[in-house]
Amino acid sequence: MNQDDTPSGRLQKAPENFLSRDGIKTVFSEGKAGRRDFIRRAFAAAAVGAAAPAVLAQANPVPLEGGDPNILNLPEHSTSLGQGVAPEGSYGKPSKYESNVLRRQSPGLTQTTQASVSFAPLQSLFGIVTPSGLHFERHHQGWWDIDPSKHRLMINGMVKTPMVFTMDEIMRLPSVSRFHFIECGANSAAEWGNVAVPTVQYTHGMLSCSEFTGVPLITLLERAGADLKNGKFVLAEGADGSSMTRTIPMALILSGEVLVAYGQNGEMLRPENGYPLRLVVPGVQGVSWVKYLRRIKLGDMPFAAKDEAVHYVDLMPDGQLRQYGSVQECKSVVTTPSGGQVLLDKGFYNITGLAWSGRGKVKKVDVTVDGGRNWREARLEGPVMSKSLTRFNLDWVWDGKPAIVQSRATDETGYVQATYKQLRAVRGTRSIYHNNAIQSWLVQENGEVKNVQLS
């Protein structure tokens, strides 16, 4: 008998509270999705020889006793004709059984229609790519679906010939495609105050990763005859009502990393993410990735725009404001098991999560299940790319006792992700932005996973 279909005491006790990977409700029918999922993924790992067979033996596979009607009886889809291709001119959608995998707005955040945030469902995603329709959103003044035939990009300031580019002109230039993460500087902000929001979607979901396609900004600056000797900073400006403006140092642009991007995961950018043009500033906090990009101005000093002089600054313990702290330091988070999920039984689980660094590649990720006393090195899924998300996995046999699960990433510069204690020693307690501390999830005896902070 498939144990997934045998209501366990736990499930009978609290079916309403059962939160599956999407952190909201069960994904599949019958309210028992979580464990089936864990097992499915455990076997996927075994197939590529990643997990030790001895450990996998504890994954409680499902012996066929008594006859499971779901395997014995032929379902309609095995005996009759399926549907034809999707309707002419259609755009594919996820299965109706995945309808709980959605962006969510935080109940705790004050939102207006125009100045708002939605979080990506990290607990439901595999690999490193965020499907475009689930990419987090942060709008300071609402989003637009801008007509690309009318959109223009101006390059001015310390250039020989100020220029205005149409989308057609940009798209005929040599392009590159690269995987990069984008993280809002305010990601994990609630955790500074130990607010303990319930799921990883809310603690870390202002994070996404896409393959971006575009033209290196340096190519456009060179075409306009940029003064590369004296020009030290550019101002990037968006075309929405927020007048989003940020200073980008030329050092980043000269490396060829900064892109004027129109592509995201193989298609044009989504309107929420800046269609038809956005700046991609790898490793740097989201606010610098100006959407609806309409102007690049070259100057010789930082521009002290509102979104860098007074917003996105860090209040340090000595009362000073730290400005331009823009690189997202090395960080990681376990996405399974994570807050709101329920482990239905002891036995094998694949601990999995994401790691990233604004300074380059992730070198290693250590995982603990006892709140930091013992650490084991996780397997990194390749290819490990610079300033991109990296997926990690670790075999774990849960003994049914309370466990505190954490991950700690190290990047190629040797920087090790800090604990809250270490971070607060330097940053104080009044920060909002740039929280890259180690996240703790408490697996309780009843299998429910909770957001906790260790002091």
Q: For Mo ion, which stretch binds (CB under 5 A), given 62-70, 138-146, 190-198, 219-227?
A: 138-146
Contacts of 51 (CB under 8 A, 6+ apart): 42, 45, 350, 395
Residue 164's SS3 state is strand
**Contact flag: residue 181 with ligand MTE (CB under 6 A):** no
Bridge partners (DSSP) listed for residue 137: 118
Residue 37 is given by DSSP the state H
Residue 383 is given by DSSP the state P
Does 337 sit behind a cis peptide bond, omega within 30 degrees of 0 on the bond before it?
Answer: yes
**Contact flag: residue 273 with ligand MTE (CB under 6 A):** yes
Binding residue for ligand MTE, selected from 27, 101, 125, 290, defined by CB under 6 A: 290
**Contact flag: residue 139 with ligand MTE (CB under 6 A):** yes
Contacts of 380 (CB under 8 A, 6+ apart): 355, 362, 364, 365, 390, 391, 392
**Contact flag: residue 184 with ligand MTE (CB under 6 A):** yes
Quick one: how far is CA 146 from the chain centroid?
Answer: 25
Binding residue for ligand MTE, selected from 291, 361, 363, 434, defined by CB under 6 A: 291
Q: Return d(Cα 435, Cα 232) in angstroms, integer.
A: 28
Per-residue buried b or exposed e for 92-107, using 16+ beta carbons within 10 Å of the residue's own CB: eeeeeeeebbbbbebe
Q: Return d(Cα 453, Cα 441) in angstroms, integer.
A: 8
Q: How far is the CB of 147 from Mo ion (least distance, A)?
A: 26
Binding residue for Mo ion, selected from 135, 138, 246, 434, defined by CB under 5 A: 138
Q: For ligand MTE, which stretch binds (CB under 6 A), given 192-200, 283-291, 393-401, 430-438?
A: 283-291
DSSP readout, 86-136? Answer: SPTT------GGGTT---B--TTS---SSSEEEB--GGG--SSPPPGGG--
Residue 287 or residue 367: which is nearer to ligand MTE going by CB? 287
Distance spanning both ends of the chain, measured CA to CA? 45
Binding residue for Mo ion, selected from 287, 313, 394, 437, defined by CB under 5 A: 287
Bridge pairing between strands 293-299 and 152-157: parallel
Q: Which does 311 bind (CB under 5 to 8 A by kind): Mo ion, ligand MTE, none?
A: none
| Other Cβ atoms closer than 10 A to 198 | 17
Residue 157's SS3 state is strand
Q: How far is the CB of 126 from ligand MTE (least distance, A)?
A: 20
Q: For Mo ion, which stretch binds (CB under 5 A), given 61-69, 178-186, 226-234, 249-257?
A: 178-186
Q: Which of residues 253-272 bind ligand MTE (CB under 6 A)?
A: 272
| Residues 231-270, mask of contacts with Mo ion (x by CB under 5 A) | ----------------------------------------
**Contact flag: residue 10 with ligand MTE (CB under 6 A):** no
**Contact flag: residue 287 with ligand MTE (CB under 6 A):** yes
Q: How far is the CB of 289 from ligand MTE (least distance, A)?
A: 5
**Contact flag: residue 282 with ligand MTE (CB under 6 A):** no
Residue 135 or residue 408: which is nearer to ligand MTE going by CB? 135
Q: For ligand MTE, which stretch binds (CB under 6 A), given 72-80, 284-292, 425-433, 434-442?
A: 284-292
Best CA proximity match to 285, nearest among 136, 105, 133: 136
Applying CB under 6 A, which residues contact ligand MTE? 135-140, 182, 184, 238, 240, 242, 244, 272-274, 286-287, 289-292
Applying CB under 5 A, which residues contact Mo ion? 138, 184, 286-287
